[in-house]
Amino acid sequence: MFTKKGELSAGGHATLKGNITFNTAYAVSDHFAVMLNGSMLSSERRKRDMRYNQLEAGGGYFTTFGPNSNRVLEIYGGFGSGSSDRTDKEENKETGIITYERHEANFNKYFVQVNFSSKRKESLKLLGREFPLNYGTALRASYVNMHDYTLNNVAGQEEDNIFLEPIFYTRLTLNPSVQLQYTSGTTIGLKNRDSLTAAYSVFSLGFVINVGGRNLSK
């Protein structure tokens, strides 16, 4: 939700499955911004263990429009890379023997993303106070290709895919600089692949710190 030069945004979020992400961006001019984002996951479950790390960087254009210039449109593009280590476990009910299938890969990604956000007219009333609500949506298209892929420590067939990632978020303004954000979204893979497939739906909760911008609630 950038509005002018010098604005800084930083956020941290966590999902119910243990995925932790951070997002940072800085407006280097009145219409251009740069971003740096990261994501990590370390999960051990009965049927699957998963470790995942990713870092990405990008830049793009932003502008405000509408009544009182309280709507924001942002267009970004960028590049990222990461690694994934997934172990699927299957137990034979008759013998109790567990078999393991381990997938390891590194990957690169290229993405374009469009964000739209706006200030709601209503606010949430709680404990005698009013907390303004912001809402928005983002649509990302990513091209991802894997390399150094192994299946049970044997070189496997490397794949690529194109993903569409729509998300929707609501921000509750706690003070002019800090907002509580709830995010929901999903991932759609456009190619039929065996290993490089779409992930689970996203439901995350976190905080966003935004300083240096205009007050859009007026």
Residue 67 phi, psi dihedral angles, 5° rounding: -60, 125
Cα gap 66→138, rounded to integer Å: 18
Separation between Cα atoms, residue 81 and residue 63, nearest integer Å:
28
How confident is the model at residue 213, as a pLDDT?
A: 65
Q: Tens of pLDDT along 30-68?
A: 999 999 999 999 988 888 899 999 999 999 999 988 777
Between residues 195 and 35, the one the model is more confident about: 35
Instruction: Tell me the CA distances in angstroms from 34 to 2, 94, 96, one per residue in order.
Output: 11, 56, 52
CATH code: domain 8-211 is 2.40.128.90
Q: Under 8 Å CB-to-CB from 23, ≥6 apart: which residues?
A: 9, 10, 11, 12, 13, 35, 37
Distance CA 146, CA 151 (A): 13
Alpha-carbon span 1 to 136, nearest angstrom: 9
Q: Does residue 109 carry a pLDDT above 80?
A: yes
135: closest CA among 123, 122, 113, 120? 120
Separation CA 158–CA 99 (nearest Å): 23
User: In this structure, are residues 59 and 78 in contact, taking their beta carbons and an 8 Å threshold?
Assistant: yes
* Strand duo 154-155 + 71-91: pairing: unpaired
pLDDT in tens, 145-190: 999 999 999 999 999 999 999 999 999 988 888 999 999 999 999 9
